[in-house]
Amino acid sequence: MVLSANLGFPRIGAKRELKKALESYWAKEISQDELFKVAAELRQLHWRLQKDAGIDHIPSNDFTFYDHVLDMAVTVGAVPERYGWNGQGIVDLDTFFAMARGNAKTGAMEMTKWFDTNYHYIVPEFHTGMKFRLSGEKALRHFEEAKKLGIMTRPVLLGPVSFLLLGKMKGGGTALSLLDSLLPVYEEILSKLAAAGTEWIQMDEPCFVLDQPHSSRDALKRAYERLTKVSPKLKLLVTTYFDELADNLEAVFNLPVAGVHIDLHRAPQQLDAALKAARKDQVISLGVLDGRNIWRANLSAVLPLIEKAIAAHGKDKIFVAPSCSLLHTPVDLDNEKSLDGELKSWLAFSRQKLAEVSALAKAAHGQKDKAVFEASDKAAASRKSSQRIHNPAVKSRAGKVAPDMLKRRHPFAQRELVQRQSLRLPLFPTTTIGSFPQTAEIRNARAEFKAGKMGEAQYKDFLKKEIALCVKFQEETDIDVFVHGEAERNDMVEYFGEQMDGYLFTKFGWVQSYGSRCVKPPIIFGDISRPKPMTVEWSVYAQSLTKKPMKGMLTGPVTILQWSFVRDDQPRSETAKQLALALRDEVLDLEKAGIKVIQIDEPAVREGLPLRKKNWQSYLRWSVDAFRLSAAGVKDETQIHTHMCYAEFNDIIAAVAELDADVISIETSRSQMELLEAFASFKYPNEIGPGVYDIHSPRVVPQAEMEMLLKKAVAVLRPEQVWVNPDCGLKTRKWEETKLCLKNMVGAAKALRQAFSAKEAGLRAAR
Ligand code: GLN
Ligand code: ZN
């Protein structure tokens, strides 16, 4: 019989119950027992919900108080010394939270993106000669907890090879060299689970959808040859997701394991190879539904894939599942009471996806539920033709984008001259990234306005007052290029989404970003257009208050795309192009309204990179083109800025240069300007503002420190190339430290200016 399976369920709760409990616990408002109670209730609710949806393989141990990678680190005792764990027994909850969030004595462990999702995991720390021991029993406890409720679950473990590959070796060496000392702990977990009555265990090895050297495949083989010997009763399912296995496919199917899960949503093309590679007695778990987007599946289109697998491999060795854990999808569409019926009929959240999985599994063994399939067909048909989705004018305009629309009128060298004349900026011009502190007052006013408690006129007046304060402060501080402060924006994507056609918003569409932090990505469901200017009014008002140039502030097409749930009925590149055209209009409207500097933020370009290197080029091509399409319509004298806030530039620097922004501001202070090396050896052509101070911390950075960083920058860049700005926007900071930091920043710029004009005078005198 074809079984239905799930790989993981969102833990945070349909109404973010876990978030609230965690934050109350951290604020010492509830006890550990109360936190445990909320967690146990959520688990129970979610297991029952999956059972009711008809899922045969229900995961356990997918729940965590923070992050499943951190869970694994704690389970095997990989606790860095600075957290003061005594190394005995079980790692306690507060040590676990200290690793995630830092404590009074030490900071949090590093966090990074989970593959190409918006979820962040805690990066395990390893060192040569490290000893592992079993120091967490969550997998066992949760299995038993579910069993007591009458639900047999499939415990999920992050597999040993991916666990090591996702970590970092401190002090050099390769993490895989630790495999032999790690495996005994995994063996211990597996044998305890076997003794408790577990049948299947899900071993996540997602790293094998990435480019891997031989050594990783060898390690995988070694690991699973040992782990499959732990107990004859246990069946291991190695799960992979987010992309194709490609050159790792043989190695994964050659493992002596009972089953392999593959992502057939992202990579349907790998089915044939999988059918060929699988042993006759090996289960293939087909990840047929998109586990990380919110679209309802077209069941009739998916079923043939399953039937093909059955024909080749037999009913008894096929599972049907979402492509990956549902961690990246909200919980339940039924909570969306204000979405209209048609829009709703196109969507599926976790609960709805599980019903789809179950319907597919049933249909695959001959019990097709006609009504379910008909409803799915109907939704697919209406999505294909709905006028709410398809806007012929937008499609035709996108179809006519010509290459010259991606090009500024003249090359940068020429633009630089006219811009210098028109903007009259000093050497080392100072600016900020856009947002100023979002005070409680601003948030309250926005909440009141949204709740209808504050009228529009009053809200606008309030915002104008805020803008005026920002302008006044920048005058006093003698900054060169101003911003209006972004007080009117809740979020850099939602703000634009709300003003464009083609977007819809949910009330409870939350997904976990990290720990208790959730995001509610807006949904791009249709062709994108801009009914009217989105930011012009604010920029023009702000400019009216000062003679200094005021930057118009926009979020770029790639970032808007990346931080939304996107359409699956057209390529991402097409959606990016539509967004770019809408932004292009906004850019031109800003220019027309007298704004001379326009910043188009693209902090998400790097995270959009495909997992496999071979796909990078095509992504970079269309994403660079989308940015250029949004920016290139302006005159030479209009200065286009962009901003990116991360430090790993080396591998995409050529693409960054191709954006051809006149000025780019980047994050550098935390890496002590290391990344400037990339810009130096590459000879970045345009102007750059390497962030001179970290905005993630309230620390007041002394002027001397910023001067030192600037000197490092000037050592590898031309002085005329260098701008002076913080690492990122200031919205999470308080005014107190912001004022002091920016004062020091302007001081640093002035000191450098002086040093350079003295040097120039000296040179002239010597001539
Ligand atoms: N302009 C935005 C701000 O200052 C940029 C934010 C970002 O890069 N994430 O807040
Ligand atoms: Zn930033």
Mean pLDDT in the chain? Answer: 96
If you average pLDDT over residues 567-592, what whole number do you get? 98
Same fold, 57-222 and 417-758: yes
Confirm if 699 and 669 have CB atoms less than 8 A apart: no
Whose C-alpha lies nearest to ligand 1, atom 1?
434
Of the bound ligands, which one is closest to the alpha carbon of residue 485? 1
Which pair of structure tokens corresponds to residue 413? 């060298």
Which pair of structure tokens corresponds to residue 682? 């590459």
Which residues is 552 bridged to in the sheet?
598
Cα of 238 vs centre of ligand 1, distance in Å, is 40
Cα separations in angstroms, 74 against 62, 83, 123: 15, 12, 12
Cα separations in angstroms, 475 against 83, 540, 546, 548, 689: 45, 17, 8, 8, 20
Confirm if 114 and 120 have CB atoms less than 8 A apart: yes
pLDDT of residue 767: 59
Sheet with 235-239, side-by-side order of all strands: 3-4, 318-322, 283-289, 259-263, 235-239, 200-204, 153-158, 58-60
Give the span between the Cα atoms of 676 and 220, in whole angstroms: 37
Cβ-proximal residues to 490 (8 Å cutoff; 6+ apart), any chain: 446
Cα of 667 vs centre of ligand 1, distance in Å, is 11
Give one DSSP letter per residue of 581-595, joined into a string.
HHHHHHHHHHHHTT-
If you average pLDDT over residues 284-295, what whole number do you get? 98
pLDDT in tens, 322-369: 999 999 999 999 999 999 999 999 999 999 999 999 999 999 989 999
If you average pLDDT over residues 32-53, what whole number do you get? 98
Place of tokens 């962030």: 691
Backbone torsions φ then ψ of 419, nearest 5 degrees:
-65, -35
Cα of 65 vs centre of ligand 1, distance in Å, is 29
Cα separations in angstroms, 481 against 457, 687, 723: 29, 14, 10
| 3-class SS of residue 425 | coil
Give one DSSP letter per residue of 123-163, joined into a string.
PPEE-TT--------HHHHHHHHHHHTT--EEEEEE-HHHH
pLDDT in tens, 384-397: 999 999 999 999 99
| 3-class SS of residue 289 | strand
Whose C-alpha lies nearest to ligand 1, atom 9?
603
Q: How confident is the model at residue 116 (pLDDT cuts 50, 70, 90)?
A: very high
The domain locations on the chain are 57-222, 417-758
Cα of 662 vs centre of ligand 2, distance in Å, is 17
Cα of 487 vs centre of ligand 1, distance in Å, is 12
Active-site residue (options: 127, 365, 390, 696): 696
Which pair of structure tokens corresponds to residue 558? 């790639």
549: how many CB neighbours lie within 10 A of its CB? 21
Residue ranges lining ligand 1, Cβ < 6 Å:
433-435, 486, 492, 553, 601, 603, 643, 645, 728-729, 731
pLDDT of residue 656: 94
Give the span between the Cα atoms of 426 and 752, in whole angstroms: 11
Sheet with 687-690, side-by-side order of all strands: 551-555, 597-601, 639-644, 663-666, 687-690
pLDDT in tens, 66-88: 999 999 999 999 999 999 999 99
Check pLDDT > 90 for residue 125.
yes
Give the span between the Cα atoms of 246 and 277, in whole angstroms: 12
pLDDT of residue 683: 86
Cα of 337 vs centre of ligand 2, distance in Å, is 35
Q: What is the DSSP letter of 696?
A: T
Cα of 433 vs centre of ligand 1, distance in Å, is 6
Which pair of structure tokens corresponds to residue 754? 């002086």
pLDDT in tens, 191-228: 999 999 999 999 999 999 999 999 999 999 999 999 99
Give the span between the Cα atoms of 719 and 721, in whole angstroms: 5
Whose C-alpha lies nearest to ligand 1, atom 10?
729
If you average pLDDT over residues 38-48, what whole number do you get? 98
Instruction: Determine the residue of 431, 432, 435 to mutate for testing ligand 1's pocket, defined as the one with the most ligand atoms within 8 A of the Cβ atom.
Output: 435
pLDDT of residue 696: 84
Confirm if 639 and 431 have CB atoms less than 8 A apart: no
Check pLDDT > 90 for residue 649.
no
Q: How confident is the model at residue 190 (pLDDT cuts 50, 70, 90)?
A: very high
Q: How confident is the model at residue 104 (pLDDT cuts 50, 70, 90)?
A: confident
Element (H, E) at 111: strand 111-113
Cβ-proximal residues to 215 (8 Å cutoff; 6+ apart), any chain: 174, 176
Give the span between the Cα atoms of 101 and 412, in whole angstroms: 44
| 3-class SS of residue 451 | coil
Confirm if 123 and 168 have CB atoms less than 8 A apart: yes
pLDDT in tens, 176-187: 999 999 999 999
pLDDT of residue 763: 64
Cα of 435 vs centre of ligand 2, distance in Å, is 10
184: how many CB neighbours lie within 10 A of its CB? 14
> Which residue from 342, 344, 304 is spatially nearest to 320, judged by alpha carbons?
304
Residue 696 is a catalytic residue: yes
Weakest mean pLDDT among 1-15, 141-155, 419-433, 666-680: 666-680
Of the bound ligands, which one is closest to the alpha carbon of residue 559? 1
Cα of 752 vs centre of ligand 2, distance in Å, is 24
Cα of 174 vs centre of ligand 1, distance in Å, is 36
Check pLDDT > 90 for residue 738.
yes
> What end-to-end distance do the CA atoms of the chain give, in Å?
89
pLDDT of residue 668: 86
Whose C-alpha lies nearest to ligand 1, atom 3?
729
Q: What is the DSSP letter of 435?
A: B
Among 3.20.20.10, 2.30.30.90, 3.20.20.210, 3.10.310.10, name the CATH number for the domain at 417-758.
3.20.20.210
pLDDT of residue 499: 97
Check pLDDT > 70 for residue 284.
yes
Give one DSSP letter per residue of 592-614, joined into a string.
HTT--EEEEE-TTTGGGS-SSGG
Backbone torsions φ then ψ of 140, nearest 5 degrees:
-70, -45
Which residues is 122 bridged to in the sheet?
111
pLDDT of residue 766: 61
Predicted TM-score (pTM) of this structure: 0.94
pLDDT in tens, 7-24: 999 999 999 999 999 999
Element (H, E) at 737: helix 735-766
Whose C-alpha lies nearest to ligand 1, atom 5?
729
Sign of the alpha-carbon torsion through 268, 272, 273, 275? positive
If you average pLDDT over residues 596-613, what whole number do you get? 95
Give the span between the Cα atoms of 298 and 308, in whole angstroms: 17
pLDDT of residue 469: 98
Confirm if 405 and 629 have CB atoms less than 8 A apart: yes
* Domain 57-222 -> CATH class: alpha beta
Confirm if 608 and 115 have CB atoms less than 8 A apart: no
Of the bound ligands, which one is closest to the alpha carbon of residue 730? 1
Q: How many CA atoms lie within 13 A of 307 on its CB side?
A: 10
Strand bridging mode 517-519 / 511-514: antiparallel
3-state secondary structure 158-220: ECHHHHHHHCEECCCCCHHHHHHHHHHHHHHHHHHHHHCCCCEEEEECHHHHCCCCHHHHHHH
pLDDT in tens, 540-560: 999 999 999 999 999 999 999
> Which residue from 618, 606, 616, 598 is spatially nearest to 562, judged by alpha carbons?
606
Strand bridging mode 125-126 / 3-4: unpaired
Q: How confident is the model at residue 764 (pLDDT cuts 50, 70, 90)?
A: low
Instruction: Supply the angle between the helices 350-364 and 370-385 in degrees, to the nearest 10.
Output: 120
Instruction: Supply the angle between the helices 456-477 and 440-450 in degrees, to the nearest 10.
Output: 160
Element (H, E) at 48: helix 32-52
Q: What is the DSSP letter of 340?
A: -
Cα of 764 vs centre of ligand 1, distance in Å, is 41
Element (H, E) at 663: strand 663-666
Place of tokens 């934050």: 23
Cα of 75 vs centre of ligand 1, distance in Å, is 37
Instruction: Determine the residue of 481, 601, 641, 645 to mutate for testing ligand 1's pocket, defined as the one with the most ligand atoms within 8 A of the Cβ atom.
Output: 601
Strand bridging mode 551-555 / 597-601: parallel
Which pair of structure tokens corresponds to residue 684? 């970045």
> Which residue from 352, 329, 335 is spatially nearest to 49, judged by alpha carbons?
352
Instruction: Determine the residue of 442, 492, 602, 642 to mutate for testing ligand 1's pocket, defined as the one with the most ligand atoms within 8 A of the Cβ atom.
Output: 492
Which residues is 336 bridged to in the sheet?
none
Check pLDDT > 80 for residue 680.
no
Instruction: Determine the residue of 431, 432, 433 to mutate for testing ligand 1's pocket, defined as the one with the most ligand atoms within 8 A of the Cβ atom.
Output: 433
| 3-class SS of residue 508 | coil
Q: E strands, 304-355, where? A: 318-322
